């Protein structure tokens, strides 16, 4: 068994969960599944528009993996007794990132920031106190690692193509605070409850800070600018 809740009780079967635990777990998993599905939804629009055949194939593979992640999580939600058709159709935040990336540069920047954020968000659940969820998140985390490596290569290629990085910097200035909102509100009562239940293992702000320090180091190494601290006015 991979995880325990704050009382030390191992959680393997959903049938013995308290209603409160099951509700918190279901909402956290649905948020993660929705993010995976939304990432695939946005990337799919670039299969046709990507500038090379290689990029088209890479985006198609990325979409397939993100959808695969979502399906694994929806299977967990089904095991918990949720109506996943309703969840996928009614709670997917399709407007959250609207307007979507409109240029190849914007998409590459978005791809790098969203996948690096996704890796941190999944890391928050790899020791989830419900063991089936922990096992699934460990599998997803391994693939998210690959997504980040791929996204870093693309943004490095963009920077190498021209000394004029105005468009790249503009995309970063737009997307950094928007992606930063994914980590949720600081000092959040819901986050605290899920920490106590062993569902999450990090406070929202700690997770956001770790993500931002990582991407800021990468961006500055490429000669791009990122503020010392990230300000996000609102959060999911």
pLDDT, one tens digit per residue, over 104-146 is: 999 999 999 999 999 999 999 999 999 999 999 999 999 998 8
| DSSP-based three-state secondary structure for 99 | coil
Query: What is the C-alpha to C-alpha distance for residues 164 and 34, in angstroms, rounded to an integer?
Result: 36
Structural domains in the chain plus CATH codes: 14-221 (1.20.1260.10)
What H or E segment, with its residue span, contains residue 75? Answer: helix 53-79
In this model, does residue 67 exceed pLDDT 90? Answer: yes
Query: What is the C-alpha to C-alpha distance for residues 26 and 80, in angstroms, rounded to an integer?
Result: 7
Query: What is the C-alpha to C-alpha distance for residues 171 and 28, in angstroms, rounded to an integer?
Result: 29
- Contacts of 104-109 with CB under 8 Å at 24 or more apart are 104/46, 104/49, 104/50, 104/51, 105/158, 105/167, 105/168, 105/171, 106/171, 106/174, 106/175, 107/43, 107/46, 108/151, 108/154, 108/155, 108/158, 109/155, 109/168, 109/171, 109/172, 109/175
11 bridge partner residues: 130
Confidence at residue 30, expressed as pLDDT on a 0 to 100 scale: 94
Question: Contact at 8 Å (CB) between 2 and 149?
Answer: no
Interval 181-224: pLDDT, tens: 999 999 899 999 999 999 999 999 999 999 999 999 999 999 99
pLDDT class for 173, splitting at 50, 70, 90? very high
């Amino acid at each position: 068994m991979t995880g325990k809740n704050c009382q030390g009780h191992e959680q393997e079967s959903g049938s013995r969960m308290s209603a409160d635990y099951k509700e918190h777990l279901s909402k956290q998993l649905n948020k993660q599944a929705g993010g995976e599905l939304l990432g695939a939804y946005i990337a799919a629009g670039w299969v046709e528009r990507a500038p090379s055949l290689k990029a088209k194939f890479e985006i198609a593979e990325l979409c397939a993996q993100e959808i695969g992640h979502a399906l694994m999580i929806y299977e967990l939600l089904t095991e918990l007794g949720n109506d996943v058709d309703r969840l996928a159709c009614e709670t997917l935040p399709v407007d959250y990132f609207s307007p979507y990336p409109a240029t190849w540069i914007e998409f590459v920047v978005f791809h790098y920031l969203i996948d690096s954020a996704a890796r941190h968000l999944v890391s928050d659940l790899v020791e989830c106190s419900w063991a089936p969820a922990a096992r699934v998140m460990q599998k997803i985390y391994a693939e998210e690692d690959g997504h980040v490596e791929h996204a870093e290569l693309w943004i490095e290629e963009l920077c190498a193509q021209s000394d004029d990085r105005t468009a790249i910097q503009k995309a970063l200035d737009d997307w950094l605070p928007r992606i930063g909102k994914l980590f949720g509100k600081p000092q959040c009562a819901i986050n605290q409850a899920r920490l106590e239940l062993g569902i999450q293992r990090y406070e929202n702000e700690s997770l956001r800070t770790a993500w931002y320090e990582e991407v800021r180091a990468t961006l500055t190494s490429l000669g791009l600018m990122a503020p010392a601290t990230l300000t996000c006015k609102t959060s999911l």
